[in-house]
Amino acid sequence: MSENNFGRHEVELDREFSEFKDFSRFKIGERTFKAQYRNIYIARLKNLRGTLKERVKLKWGNYKILQLTNLSEVPEDDKPIILIGTLYKHQELKPSILKEKSDDLQLIHQPSSSNYSSIKDQLFLEDEDLRVKLVGDHMSPSDLVTGLVCAVLGREAVNGCFWVQDFCFPGMCPKVSTSRLLSSHPGSILLLSGLDMANTPDSVEQELLVEWITGMAGDPTNQKDAASVGLVIIAGNSVRGSVESCSQRGYLGAMNHRTTAAVETIVATHRFDKFLRNILENCGVLLMPGEFDPSNHSIPQQSLHHCIIPESSRFKSLHGGTNPWIGKIGGRIVAGSSGQPVDDIRRVAGLMNFSPLDCLEKTLTWRHFSPTAPDTLPAYPYFNSDPFVMDECPDIYFVGNMEEYSTKLLIGEEGQSVRLISIPKFSSTSTAVIVDLDTLETQPISFGAH
């Protein structure tokens, strides 16, 4: 402790640096686009079929499990049977690639529908060979999406459909005991998203954020909180937070617009590089791309190329993350996305009134990070595996670029505890979220008057 020129005592604080491990689940090696998207559904079903067989025995007992090809083999005792497959949701309002192609010559931006659900939606169950229509009142299409691996209990109807008496999903992954072992100094992490440098020039809130992280702002209590942050997770849409709209007609007008948008993106990228460098000089950062950042469009989005942020890429404290991302920080399993899987689930299921936390909880029950990919959310065409299937139960599960902050401590059927977090867009709320890795308690911190 020392005394400065103004007579105040200065206290030197050591920053907590949390241990960091990237599971590299979503990193793509050699890229090939020769495979059809059917393969990822086959891999998904194969991965989760065994889990569902165990679940249905516990839930329903020893009913006969049949393949769709053997659906006509009804037991002599006329007991219900079990089918296991992948749900397909037929939706008339779902986007069509043919409609998109027909609009290619129109330069006026066509906004996408915010809700693909309607009362005409129908559910089907399919496996590697066949598909059967599901009927009955027990499964509501508005609560479900295409791509879910599911078991259904019921019997074949006279019209070749399958009447559903009950249904079952894989459920939350069990917690591995070793995941609860914390490091001696777990510290805390700071979550933020949606910086949107292209549309927030000269942001005082961003400057205050950097000063707080680096310990240059706030009283000793605030500086102590900042010093406990061992890692900052930036969950996407840092360079740009929305798509560039095009309202000009004609070739020259379109070219001028695209040139202007490209220049704006380049300027915003340079601003973000300097912003990030100032943080990296004092704290580690996990940088995830977002839907509108300069990265590949389909998920999993790969980490931003080092040429895009040359000044920041020189620091070893920068961890280039994918979107989604999963890894271990300070002894806790942390997973999350920059928002696309949750946004797409709400569009497809008709759950626009459901909160982001409700969607996160559903994905844990479905045991899949992004079930609507690749149907309505673009995804890489995996062939032999589906990395979006959950193999671990996270301790912290977040979604970025939401409208507001919210959180919930979810307790699973087997006692699993998961901290769910909705990270608000910083550009509109000036709010980040601190998470204590020891207690899993969260606290929003605001840097503006929003």
H-state helical runs in 350-410: 356-366
**Average pLDDT of the chain, as a whole number:** 85
Alpha helices in 80-203 (DSSP H): 97-102
**Closest listed residue to residue 440, CA positions, set 337, 362, 334, 361:** 334
What is the rounded distance in angstroms from the CA atom of residue 399 to the CA atom of residue 346?
Answer: 13
Tell me the per-residue pLDDT of 349-399, one tens digit each, with 9 for 90 and over.
Answer: 875 568 999 999 999 999 999 999 999 999 999 988 999 999 999 999 999
Is there a contact between 369 and 324 (Cβ–Cβ < 8 Å)? yes
DSSP string, 229-294: EEEEEEES-SS-SSPPP----SHHHHHHHHHHHHHHHHHHHHHHHHHHHHHHTTSEEEEE--TTSS
pLDDT bracket for residue 193 (50, 70, 90): very high
Q: What is the mean pLDDT of residues 257-279?
A: 84
Phi-psi map region of 236: left, alpha, beta (phi>0 left; psi -120 to 50 alpha): left
DSSP 297-357: SSBSBPPPPTTTSTTGGG-TTEEE--BSEEEEETTEEEEEESSHHHHHHHHHHT-TTS-HH
Residue 249 has pLDDT above 60, yes or no: no
Lowest mean pLDDT among 94-103, 132-141, 208-217, 243-252: 243-252
- Work out the pLDDT band at 200, boundaries 50, 70, 90: confident
Q: Does residue 44 contact residue 389 with C-beta atoms inside 8 Å?
A: yes
pLDDT at site 246: 44
The pair of structure tokens assigned to 124 is 């089907």
Q: Tell me which DSSP letter residue 62 carries.
A: S
- Closest Cα to residue 313, out of 260, 262, 362, 276? 276
Check residues 41 and 450 and name the one with the higher pLDDT. 41
**Cα separation of 326 and 285, whole Å?**
15
* Neighbouring C-beta atoms of residue 256, cutoff 10 Å: 12
Res 326 pLDDT > 50? yes
Given this model, what pLDDT does residue 247 score?
45
Q: Looking at residues 145-169, what average pLDDT do you find? A: 93
pLDDT in tens, 386-400: 999 999 999 999 999
Q: Give pTM, 2 decimals.
A: 0.89
Task: Show Cβ contacts of residue 440 under 8 Å, excluding neighbours closer than 6 positions.
Answer: 332, 395, 396, 409, 417, 419
Is a pLDDT exceeding 80 seen at residue 75? no
How many other CB atoms sit within 10 Å of the CB of residue 153?
A: 21
CA distance 363 to 135: 24
Q: In what helix (H) or strand (E) does residue 433 lie, and over which residues does it extend?
A: strand 431-436
Q: How far apart are the first and last CA of the chain?
A: 36
- For 2-30+175-446, CATH gives 3.60.21.50
pLDDT value of residue 188:
94
Query: 309-331: buried (b, 16+ CB within 10 Å) or exposed (e) per residue?
Result: beebbebebbbbbbbbbbbbbbb
**Domain 2-30+175-446 and domain 38-168 have a common topology:** no
Domain regions of the chain by residue span:
2-30+175-446, 38-168
Q: Which residue has the higher pLDDT, 100 or 213?
A: 213
> For residue 191, is pLDDT > 90?
yes
Q: Is the pLDDT of residue 96 over 70?
A: no
Q: Average pLDDT in the 171-175 region? A: 93
Considering only CA atoms, which of 111, 76, 84, 82 is closest in space to residue 95?
111
Q: Tell me the three state secondary structure of residue 94.
A: coil
Asked if residues 193 and 233 have their Cβ atoms less than 8 Å apart, the reply is no
Residue 327: pLDDT over 60: yes
Q: Determine the Cα–Cα distance for residues 148 and 170; give it in Å rounded to an integer.
A: 9
The pLDDT confidence band at residue 417, using thresholds 50, 70 and 90, is very high
Rg (CA), the chain: 24
β-bridge mates for residue 190, sequence order: 232, 434
Cα–Cα distance, 438 to 188 (Å, whole number): 8
* Among the ranges given (45-54, 259-268, 427-436), the one the predictor scored with the smallest mean pLDDT: 259-268
Mean pLDDT within 158-175: 92
- Range with the largest mean pLDDT of 10-14, 267-271, 346-350: 267-271
If you ran DSSP here, which 8-state letter would residue 360 be given? H
How confident is the model at residue 290, as a pLDDT? 96
Model confidence at 17: pLDDT above 70? no
Please give the share of the chain, as a percent, with pLDDT higher than 70: 82
The domain defined by 38-168 carries CATH number 3.40.950.10: no
Amino acid at 352: M
